Chain A
Amino acid sequence: MFKHLLKLIWNKKKQNFLLISEILFSFMVIFAVFTFGIYCWDNYKQPMGMEYENVLAVNFTNPVKTTNADSLRLFYETVKRNLKSLPEVDEVSYASVNIPFSESTINNSMDINGKNIRQINEFSGEDSYPGVVNLKMAEGRWYNKQDGLPGTRNMVINRALKEKAFGDVPVVGKFLGDPAKPSERFKIIGVIENIKFNGDYQSPALAIYKRMDTAGYKWVSNMLIKVRPSADAAFESRLYKTLANSLNNANVEIEHLANKRISINKMTLVPMIILSIVAGFLIINVALGLFGVLWYNINKRRGEIGLRRALGATGNGVSSQIVWEAMILATFSMIIGSFFAVQFPLLNVFDLPAMVYIIALLASVLFIYALVLVCSLYPGRQAAAIYPAVALHEE
């Protein structure tokens, strides 16, 4: 029977072309939605790699006009000391503009282990940085004062960069940068666990962490402050006053890192929700279209259905024939769709893990089969209810 149905469908390929195209199109849309969704879910399951609760992100305009490094250091250390004197403040670190959950990025490329690696995020923080956001070391150590000694060129990287550049081997003591350019070479002193600094739904990107030195203070405009859980709005008011007094004539903005996380998560969630709604409407349209086409086909094939009943088909047999035909058509569509879908992992189009595409592909196949099954069950039952004596006399 299966071969018979295949032959019947193949011989009607022109009539079935539109239906195959419709299923193919919805399969590709579902594949895109599922890929995006699975990618986000996969990232969501990964640990954040840092703590964002009770951390305040302060952005300020640099108030100091001097370019003297010692004066700058003295100024910012005084500001930091003033802040740490507040009983609710546990730790403070100046940081580069691309603090976690900000929309700012600083990207670089580097020669590491003979490979030119692009899109490396470059972060800067002080020795106290891990204490503020509770970074976890995977290997080696974070910076300390000794790393500020002249001639010291040390670097901390994240696990993602380590695995991309070196694989799964210990890397402390190894070097980053082109060996031919000693001024751009750094010794790895530590590896931190990945941080999802772009929010819960984004993958932890490649990253290097630089020690913020006196030269860095010239451009500094951000700090992270770890506060105690008891810190309330009154404290924030006092903090603002302290900062305003310390940073003369500077514009100061204080935000909770937890709120910044929610904001940046929305940047992923909103398009995902919009895409899901659009896909939902599309699926409803496809389902109605499929239902309509099957219904139309059955009405056109009443004579054939009556004939099959006369020749020995049961009502259930006719019903399952309709369902199987729809399933075979869906299979044709999905074979074509899968050809296009597998190009994404093969060509590494969006640099997503191949497993994300494979799971999305399987989920899309199951979804389309379920959709086609649901849409063909009722027309199938209607076909089974066709009275053969009536159908055979209609033509």
Chain B
Amino acid sequence: MIRLQNIEKVYRTSTIETLALNSINLEVAKGEFLSIMGPSGCGKSTLLNIIGLLDAPTRGDISIGEQKTGHLGDRELAAFRNKKLGFIFQSYHLINDLQVVDNVELPLLYRSMSAKERKQLATEALEKVGLSNRINHFPTQLSGGQRQRVAIARAIVGRPEIILADEPTGNLDSAMGNEIMEILMDLNRNEGTTIVMVTHDENMAHKTHRLVRLFDGSQVS
């Protein structure tokens, strides 16, 4: 499903060159739930951004499904992200000025779809995460766990094949974290969604199918 070959990422300034990722080779099978762990600054988020096509590697190739992504332009990358990928972030990244349902609808705005259809899909996604009674609330009126569930609804509303989660339980207490993890595991189990999750939490990581560890930009297991 996802294939990374010899991925290298170097950040350059005028005075310093930082090797963020060094020769990463990784394959994620369809329907797999993979977690990435490592200490702060080891390149976990950089790797997730590269898989999510939000950042380009300095060297190496990425394939998602049958699609090689290296030559894609801005428009194709945007469309690819929109249709194939769903994102969940540690700090939720909800738009506080929009109601929950409008936040969830966001990915669908970039598809040709009627407002009615968008609303229906957003409502269904919110039902899946148990927030159908909060559709007209604003994010500021919700708890952290509820906000993350809204973010999950937003990630799944477009029915992507892959979900990329960057420390989705990082801002939550363990009970809320477990709740979120359950939702992700359900998605993986029932919908067959491939999930790549960056986490600091060993317990959460051990609930996934496979764990990849990074250290100083290199894959160590």
Contacts and interface: CB of A to CB of B under 8 A. Distances in A.
- Genuine A/B complex: yes
Interface of A: 1, 3-4, 7-8, 11-12, 303-304, 306-317, 387-389, 392-393, 395
A205 B98 CA distance: 58
B7 to A, nearest CB: 14
B54 interface: yes
| Residue from B81, B91, B98, B109 with most neighbouring chain A CB atoms (10 Å) | B109
Contacts of B154: 311
A308 B115 contact: no
Contacts of A308: 106
Contact of B109 (A1, A310, A393): A1
Given A311-B110, A312-B111, A392 B97 contact: no
Contact of A313 (B54, B78, B87, B105): B78
Consensus secondary structure, chain A interface: helix
Given A307-B93, A317-B110, A312 B52 contact: no
27 contacts: A1-B109, A3-B115, A4-B105, A7-B98, A8-B98, A12-B97, A303-B93, A306-B93, A308-B106, A309-B54, A309-B78, A310-B52, A311-B82, A311-B110, A311-B154, A312-B81, A312-B82, A312-B111, A314-B78, A317-B78, A387-B55, A388-B54, A389-B46, A389-B54, A392-B89, A392-B93, A395-B91
B107 interface: yes
Interface in B71-88: 74-75, 78-79, 81-83, 87
A43 B89 CA distance: 65
A8 B94 CA distance: 13
Contacts of B105: 4
Contacts of A316: 74
A3 B109 CA distance: 10
Contacts of A309: 54, 78
| Residue from A310, A389, A395 with most neighbouring chain B CB atoms (10 Å) | A310
Interface residues of B, number: 29
Given A388-B54, A389-B54, A310 B45 contact: no
A4 B111 CA distance: 13
Contacts of B74: 314-316
Contacts of A317: 78, 110
A311 B87 contact: yes
Interface of B: 45-46, 49, 52, 54-55, 74-75, 78-79, 81-83, 87, 89, 91, 93, 95, 97-98, 102, 105-107, 109-111, 115, 154
A298 to B, nearest CB: 14
Contacts of A395: 91, 93
A11 B93 contact: no
Contacts of B102: 4, 7
A311 B107 contact: yes
Given A312-B79, A314-B74, A4 B93 contact: no
Contacts of B54: 309-310, 388-389, 392
Contact of A310 (B81, B91, B98): B81
A115 B52 CA distance: 80
Contacts of B109: 1, 4
Nearest to B82: A312
B163 to A, nearest CB: 12
A11 B140 CA distance: 13
A15 to B, nearest CB: 8
A330 to B, nearest CB: 19
Contacts of B46: 389
A313 B110 contact: yes
B94 to A, nearest CB: 9
B14 to A, nearest CB: 18
A389 B53 CA distance: 9
B110 A307 contact: no
A135 B158 CA distance: 79
A165 B87 CA distance: 76
Contacts of A313: 78, 110
Nearest to A321: B109
| Residue from B74, B75, B93, B105 with most neighbouring chain A CB atoms (10 Å) | B93
A163 B83 CA distance: 70
B157 to A, nearest CB: 10
A389 B97 contact: no
Nearest to A307: B93
Given A4-B105, A8-B98, A312-B79, 16 more contacts: A4-B102, A11-B97, A307-B87, A307-B95, A310-B54, A310-B81, A311-B82, A311-B87, A311-B107, A311-B154, A312-B110, A316-B74, A317-B78, A389-B46, A389-B55, A392-B54
Nearest to A11: B97
Contacts of A1: 109
A314 B49 contact: no
Nearest to B151: A307
A49 to B, nearest CB: 61
